[in-house]
Amino acid sequence: MKMSELLSKEDFEKKLRDMGSMYHIHHPFHVRMYEGSCTKEEIQGWVANRFYYQCAIPIKDAAIMSNNPPIEDRRKWVDRILDHDSVGGGIEAWLDLGVAVGLKKEDLLSHKFVLPAVRFAVDAYINFARRSPWKEAAMSSLTEMFAPQIHQQRLDTWPKNYPWIEQNGLRYFQKRLSEARRDVQHGLSMTLVEFDTVELQNRACEILQFKLDILWTMCDALYLAYELKRPPYFNIKDCNATRKITCD
């Protein structure tokens, strides 16, 4: 609901943090994953589809850089790109996760299992970063306020629930715990200072909702394809465009 009065910084932060009640950690697909009810194919489908998001993150961060933030912010933003793109960084760690769950690196890199709705949702994030003023695009990363909990949940439960996954594949989640907290410190302090009218505070909430929608929509696509077994064209005879996971 829209605010009609300017919130204090404390109340504005609380309002943003309260939106964590819509984080994808609560999506039924993630709940099943965390509880240990996912099949190997479901885990593989999630890892392969999420790789498209992983690849998009440094691209959207570069798009934010191209929209001319001040140098102090650019210096911090470079670290975000390196977190993912450097040698041994997030992209490589995610590829290791792929191998740990039984996927081939080349299949991940080809994005051949990526569902159309996942692609559209992730592309919407990149396009938003390209077209928006840098502060709006930067604050859209604030779903990361809620991310350490979801990474920790995986670290705590996957070894017990999915013993077939090689442990070294979980390095990505460990690595993100501190990186996400550092990103949030910067993104949140900027947002609390810069979004300083009632209109801007409402705009910030709208943007955070947009980002929550992207993450939730990705889970919806996974749920439909892997849990309900209704990927696109599932009812079309002999259709080879269903992005069915096929590996052994």
Ligand X SMILES: O=C(O)c1cc(C(=O)O)c2c(n1)C(=O)C(=O)c1cc(C(=O)O)[nH]c1-2
Binding site for ligand X (CB under 6 A): 57, 141, 143-144, 147, 150, 176, 215
- Give me the DSSP letters along 201-243: HHHHHHHHHHHHHHHHHHHHHHIIIIIS---TTTTSTT-S-S-
Is the Cβ of residue 223 or residue 232 nearer to ligand X in the bound state? Answer: 223
Distances (CA, A) of 97 to 4, 65, 194: 46, 28, 38
Is the Cβ of residue 176 or residue 243 nearer to ligand X in the bound state? Answer: 176
Q: Which of these, 16, 151, 31, lies nearest to 97 by C-alpha position?
A: 151
Is the Cβ of residue 194 or residue 199 nearer to ligand X in the bound state? Answer: 194
Distance CA 59, CA 130 (A): 9
CA angle 165, 170, 176 (to 5 degrees): 160
CB of 52 to ligand X, least distance (A): 13
Is the Cβ of residue 147 or residue 222 nearer to ligand X in the bound state? Answer: 147
CB of 180 to ligand X, least distance (A): 6
Using CB atoms, what's the residue nearest to ligand X?
143
Distance CA 114, CA 242 (A): 10
Is the Cβ of residue 102 or residue 187 nearer to ligand X in the bound state? Answer: 187
CB of 148 to ligand X, least distance (A): 9
Distance CA 140, CA 216 (A): 15
CB of 71 to ligand X, least distance (A): 20
CB of 248 to ligand X, least distance (A): 26
Kindly tell me the burial class for residue 238, based on how many C-beta atoms sit within 10 Å of its own C-beta (0-12, 13-18, 19 or more): exposed
CB of 81 to ligand X, least distance (A): 10
Is the Cβ of residue 43 or residue 57 nearer to ligand X in the bound state? Answer: 57
